[in-house]
Amino acid sequence: MFSSLNTAVSALQQFQDDISLIGNNMANVNTTGFKDGIMNFADTLNQVIGLGGTTTEQIGSGVTTDSITSNFTQGTISQTGINSDLAVSGSGFFVVKDPSSGAEYVTRAGDFQVDANGYLVTANGMRVQGYSDSGLTTLGDIQINATGAPATAAPGATVQSYTIGQNGDLTLTLSDGTTFVRGQVLLQNFQAPNALQNQGNNLYSMTTAAGGLAQPVAAGTNGLGTIDSGALEGSNVDLTTEMTNLIAAERAFESNAKVITTSDEVLQDLVNLKR
């Protein structure tokens, strides 16, 4: 009887966590580039209660969390018309770097902006990575300025506008009409993206277990998707699915709570039999 209490308590603990995960998914339904989490359960070690001929009689002792995985399916891409907004259509992650610590992260959220120094950055100041020179040979921070302009450009010509192509090419137009490729936004890909560590703020830390490429590469190559400029990828949370999961988790929680009350009543009856 005590085992039934422990079994039901283990279920209550796991379904509490499941409801928390579902709640987090629903809270991020409008978060740019958010990937919903999925909880996977596993039964715990069975109790052997006796030997019956050639078979072993066992009773399960409850449930535990096997894993919590992220669902990296594509979110809906919506046009914003803002050049610095980028979305990955297909596989791949943007690489960003913390300028103060040098730590690199990856993200699917492309709600970037241009800071006062011309760097393409996230909302919290992480700099987007790629080829930082017009020759597309040096990895570094993507910066929008006239550095690397062709010799035919007028002295003192300033940046008039810029575009980012599907392969990540950053093309600048100067005030004298000169156009040139200033750099290229690159993407990183992983064999096991669920091994990435979620750091919040739409950022993931890269791990060896994730199996990333040796270095980021151009969009549209190595199985990577393309980059949509002036667009953002929305959350892939499906509210209908999450509501269904929430109801199922709630019912499971209530059912296991009933197991606890029933076990408690039976224990009381056993105690009363001794009196």
pLDDT value at residue 16 = 95
The single residue listed with the structure tokens 């709600």 is 111
Burial of 29 (0-12, 13-18, 19+ CB in 10 A): middle
Residues 6+ apart with CB under 8 A from 194: 69, 70, 72
* Cβ-based neighbours of 68, under 8 Å, separated by 6 or more: 21, 37, 38, 39, 40
Mean pLDDT of 79-87: 97
**What pLDDT is stored for residue 62 in this prediction?**
86
Place of tokens 């950055």: 121
Residue 1 has pLDDT above 60, yes or no: no
- Both ends of the chain: CA-CA distance in Å? 19
Residue 129 CA to residue 111 CA, distance in Å, equals 14
CA dihedral angle for residue 199, residue 203, residue 207, residue 209, rounded to 10 degrees: 100
Domain limits, the chain: 2-72+237-274, 77-233
In this predicted structure, the answer to whether residue 84 has a pLDDT above a threshold of 70 is: yes
| pLDDT higher than 90, residue 164 | yes
What 3-state class would DSSP assign to 30? coil
Q: Which residues pair with 200 in a beta bridge?
A: 203
Res 49: pLDDT: 67
Q: How high is the pLDDT of residue 207?
A: 95
Q: Which residue(s) pair with 162 in the sheet? A: 172
Indicate whether 51 pLDDT > 80: no
For the packed helices 2-27 and 239-274, what is the interaxial angle rounded to 10 degrees?
A: 160
Q: Which helix (H) or strand (E) holds 191?
A: none
pLDDT at 270 over 80: no
Least confident interval from 147-161, 186-200, 257-271: 257-271
Say if residues 195 and 139 touch (Cβ distance below 8 Å).
no
**Residue type at position 104:** E
Average pLDDT of the chain, as a whole number: 93
The 3-class secondary structure across 72-89, one letter per residue, is CCCCCEEECCCCCEEEEE
pLDDT band, very low/low/confident/very high, at 22 (cuts 50, 70, 90) = very high
**Secondary structure (3-state) at 244:** helix
Q: Which two three-digit tokens encode residue 128?
A: 């987007």
In angstroms, the CA 179 to CA 197 distance is 40
* Site of tokens 């056993």: 270
Mean pLDDT value of segment 89-111:
97
Residue, of 272 and 148, whose pLDDT is higher: 148
Percent residues over pLDDT 70 in the chain: 95
* Cα gap 247→19, rounded to integer Å: 9
Closest of 114, 111, 92, 103 to residue 216, by C-alpha:
92
- pLDDT score, position 175: 97
Max CA separation in the chain (angstroms): 103
Q: Give residues with Cβ within 8 angstroms of 98, minimum separation 6.
A: 104, 105, 125, 126
Coil, helix or strand at residue 227 = strand
pLDDT of residue 45 exceeding 60: yes
Strand-pair partners of 164: 170
Q: Name which of 5-14, 20-29, 233-242 the model is least confident about.
A: 5-14
